[in-house]
Structure 1
Amino acid sequence: MKRILLVVLLGLISHFNFAQNPTGDWYGNLEVQPGVILPLVFHISEAEGIYSGTLDSPDQKAFDIPITNVTYTDTNLSIAITDMRLTYEGVVRSNALIEGTFKQSGLTIPLQLTREAVAIEAPNRPQEPQAPFPYTVQEITFDNKEANATFSGTITLPKVVFKGKKKLPAVILISGSGPQDRNEELLGHKPFLVIADYLTRNGIAVLRYDDRGTAASTGEFTGATSADFATDAQAAFDFLKTHPDIDASKIGFAGHSEGGLIAPMVAATNKEVAFIALLAGVGQPGDELLMDQGYLIGKAQGFDDEMLRKNRIAQEMMFTTVKEHYGDTEKIKEKLTIYLENALEQNPEMIPEGSSKEAMIKREINTLTSDWFQYLIITDPRPTLEKVTCPVLAINGSLDLQVPSQKNLTNIEESVKKGGNTDVTTVEFPNLNHLFQTTTTGSPSEYAILEETFSPDALKVLSEWIIEKTK
């Protein structure tokens, strides 16, 4: 009897394994660091025995990332995205569960996939404002006809007007690099929401908007450069001038990171701009900035001195190629392909685990030859800063690894003054990172872990400076 029962059970197990199907949607919560969870969604499909798929990372606003290779054999599922140096090896335990291992750029993390998203506890963001608000909130749209784009945004208006003033001073927020929504949302943080709330409570109207082609705004983000985004900011300025509650002579910009590169572009040509505040703004040439950034972040991630040295040499050579042949994308591709093939042949250790020489070359060339990246590499913000005649505030954190604080603050101040404008203020806040969070290392890997969204000290300085310049 026992023998018959065992045979029956084995038969059921065999049939169960045969019926398992890896196609469809699979959800997983990747614990990047203790307390830092990154939801992922794999979409697997099959046609005539060939598997394919895409990956979503919702919190990073990344969707439909093509999977390079999907194989499924005897319940073993293998996924690879070579451009991202990402692999996933799992065992399909049932039609509702896959257990496996996620690998990317040296990280190895257990990852369980299920058919339904597993809810995770929302990160604590104590600064995020909650309705009801003690000010007026208006949803608006404006057009940039040059870009064939319609922007969707939010204006927050103080209910208490400054003494003796009929209309309000206002600031337009300009986001950092990459497609950003009006809150500049990143890893659960909403810096622009926090900034807008603080400034509005202190009597300053704020306009923030979704980037072109992002969230509720139309237009095409891909292919646009910082110069293109400057026309978007100018369109926001033109719109705000017509608002019945806004003093058109007291409208300025506050730009974060790349937004701090864009704000001076607008102010240099539009003398109606009342002020600009640069939050971790850029004051050094783009290629130099990227090399400094690569060194500082690499060091924080534990790269040894030799690897950092090789990486800088490679960056310098590639950036020089882009600058010499700017705009001639095919020539840049040709030159970089030859260089990277030789460099990786001689230094195979620079190829990340889970990737290949061919995949790495493709990834680097795609990045370096994009219109946005080429423009950044050849851009020196100093001549533009020399043309800014309105009051300038530049603030940064001492632990900013993406826009090194002292070098950029110094360059901004010197450039503005060189143009004859002495109304420039710079402030370096100790122990703040690129997002103006209080930290101990400044590493981008800490952004999601930290509960603070934006330093109260930095908010106070920004608010008081704008009030002083518009009173």
Structure 2
Amino acid sequence: MKPNRIKQLSTLLIGLLLAQLTIAQENNFSGNWSGKITIPTGKLEMIFKITRADGKYQAKLDVPKQGASDLPVGDVLVIGDSVSIAVPAIMGTYAGHFSTGDSITGKWKQSGMTFDVNLIRIGEVAALVRPQTPEPPFPYLSEEVEYTNPESGLKLAGTITFPKDAKACPAVVMITGSGAQDRDEVIFGHKPFAVIADFLTRNGIAVLRVDDRGVGGSEGSVSESTSLDFVGDVLAGVDFLKSREEIDPKKIGLIGHSEGGLIAPIAATKSNDIAFIVMMAGPGTVGEQILYEQGALLSKAAGLPDYSIEQQKLTQQKIFEVVKSEADQEKAKEQLRETLSQGMYAGMNEDLQKTIDAEISNVNSTWFRFFLTYDPKPTLSKVKCPVLALNGSKDLQVPVSNLGEVIKAVNSGGNMKVDTVRFINHNHLFQQCETGAIAEYAQIEETIDPEVLKTMKDWILEQTKK
């Protein structure tokens, strides 16, 4: 090879090496990175929000269509042109490499599945639009409070709102749905309990909303408790309201959403201090039946074929049978592993094992075991105070058919003071919707239909006007 050719080649190699070193040095992962996962129902965007401090990268994850914001992220590593991100909260990992300074080619792994996901750097992440979320200043008083459930000894923390110069006004205790919820029942960026409290308080009704056990300022654990335990928390809230000079102790009621609509009637049968109850999508039949209906409706809305829906129900039946028949949770855990893995658990990779164990943890919990077998009808038949039961016609989580079951059960005990309202085109959150699918919750800007708020307010004032 001629000397000039060798010199040219050496220069080229040095130039390429310097270029690669420059790219590696200039790879700055800070910023917002968007990628899309292709799933059967379409594309699901995920946004990693990356910052750097003290030489280390940190991140949070948004999934806008699911209303997930600022999910905690674990280790974030950038080595040369390679990137890896762990998201333990959802058992997911991302790994890729820089294609350019503003694009990354990679894969997302979760629940034993792998998806091609290419990230691109984007500008500011658009904030979720929630126009009904209350903003100060408020034309009423708000106070952070704490009190103790005397049965459990657990401290509970919440917020009470009441009209200025209130004297002997009616009041309600809010009861959240299933899962560990905060006092605002935050879901998909919405704060339904804050919206309800704001509306009712503006109309002369005091409201106490409380963090669930183990959430915010409240002690305890939701998964290790049952709906019966939460009844004690609710009655402690009623006793707290009775101690307030702003509240008429004879005009205290309960508003329960979803599981909260199951808890409210139990509380009403254990205390003579409950003046009324409002059941927002409250169950009227045994939990197992609701879960079968819920599973089928949600799967159909997600576009799954009938044979898949039927197969899902068969799997549910096997799981529920284990939970109902085996009281020992450790023994049940082993049986559930066998059922969910079809006997192949030991040979599965770690991600699949974690996915199965997470599902088992849910269905084998103390809370789930109670909910699965609890039938609200006998309790509803013992409720003597006025009842307002509300449901959306497109509710896929607690189907509107539960309204009929509630009426029959309450009436069977001789209580005719029950009113029901079926809202057309409304989902489980009482938003006006198209299909009722959970995927819509985050996309809808409305937190709760104002007509639903007005219906509750008018009914409560009617019950407490005497």
Range class of TM-score, shorter chain: 0.7 to 0.9
Task: Count matched residues.
Answer: 445
Conserved? CA contact 1:255–1:261, under 8 Å = yes
Distance 1:37 1:129, change over 3 A: farther
Q: Which runs of 5+ in 1 are unaligned?
A: 45-52, 346-350
Overall identity of the aligned pairs, in %:
41
TM-score (norm 2): 0.83
Q: Is 1:153 equivalent to 2:173 in the alignment?
A: no
Q: What does 1:99-118 correspond to in 2, within 5 Å?
A: 99-102=105-108, 110=117, 112=119
Find the counterpart in structure 2 of residue 123 from structure 1.
Answer: 128
Q: Do 2:73 and 2:89's aligned partners in 1 also have CA atoms closer than 8 Å?
A: no
1:174-213 alignment, distance < 5 Å: 174-213=175-214
Aligned-residue CA RMSD in angstroms?
Answer: 3.7
Which residue of 2 is the match for residue 377 of structure 1? 372
* Residues 422-454 of structure 1 deviation map (CA, whole Å, 9 limit, x = unaligned): 111111100000000001100000111111110
What is the aligned partner in structure 1 of residue 419 from structure 2? 425
CA offset at residue 390 of structure 1? 0.9
TM-superposed deviation, 1:37: 6.5
Give the secondary structure class of the aligned counterpart of 1:447: helix
1:47 corresponding residue in structure 2: none
What does 1:357-376 align with in structure 2 at a 5 Å threshold?
A: 358-376=353-371
User: How far, CA to CA, are the matches of 1:71 and 1:344 in structure 2?
Assistant: 33
Structure 2 gap segments, 5+ residues each: 1-6, 53-57
Q: Which residue in 2 is equivalent to 1:12?
A: 18
The aligned residue for residue 459 of structure 1 is 453
User: CA 1:25–1:257 in structure 2 vs 1: closer, same or farther (change >3 Å)?
Assistant: farther
Residue type of the alignment partner of 1:271: N
Q: Which residue of 2 aligns with 1:170?
A: 171
Deviation (angstroms), 1:388: 1.3
- Which amino acid letter does the alignment assign opposite residue 442 of structure 1? G
1:348 alignment counterpart: none
The structure number with the bigger radius of gyration is: 2
The 2-side partners of 1:187 and 1:268 are apart by: 33
Label 1:136 to 1:29 Cα distance change in 2 as closer, same or farther (>3 A). Answer: farther
Offset at residue 212 of structure 1 (A): 2.0
How big is the shift at 1:42? 8.3
Residues 1:387 and 2:382 aligned together? yes
Query: How far has the Cα of 1:318 moved from its partner?
Result: 1.3
* Number of the residue aligned with 1:335: 335
TM-fit CA distance, 1:263: 1.0
Deviation string 1:42-86 (CA, Å, 9 cap, x unpaired) is 899xxxxxxxx998669648865779xx99998444667799574
Describe the SS at the equivalent of 1:189: coil
| Kept after mapping to 1: 8 A contact 2:110/2:351 | no
What one-letter code is carried by the residue in structure 1 that aligns with 2:329?
Answer: T
Structure 1 residues 2, 261: CA separation in 2 closer, same or farther (over 3 Å shift)?
farther
Which residue identity is paired with 1:375? F
Query: Once the 2 structures are TM-superposed, how far is the Cα of residue 314 of structure 1 from its aligned partner?
Result: 1.1
Higher mean C-alpha displacement, 146-155 vs 296-305: 146-155
Deviation (angstroms), 1:21? 9.4
Letter in 2 for 1:426: T
Q: Paired residue for 1:48? A: none
Separation in 2, partners of 1:424, 1:344: 51
- Using the alignment, how far apart are the partners of 2:138 and 2:43 within structure 1? 31
Aligned twin of 2:219: 218
Aligned-pair CA distance for 1:152: 2.2
Structure 2 letter corresponding to 1:330: E
Q: Which amino acid aligns with 1:175?
A: T
1:143 to 138, 145, 148: 148
Distance 1:66 1:418, change over 3 A: farther
Cα distance in 2, alignment partners of residues 255 and 30 from structure 1: 38
1:460 positional shift? 1.1
Counterpart Cα distance in 2 of 1:120 and 1:62: 11
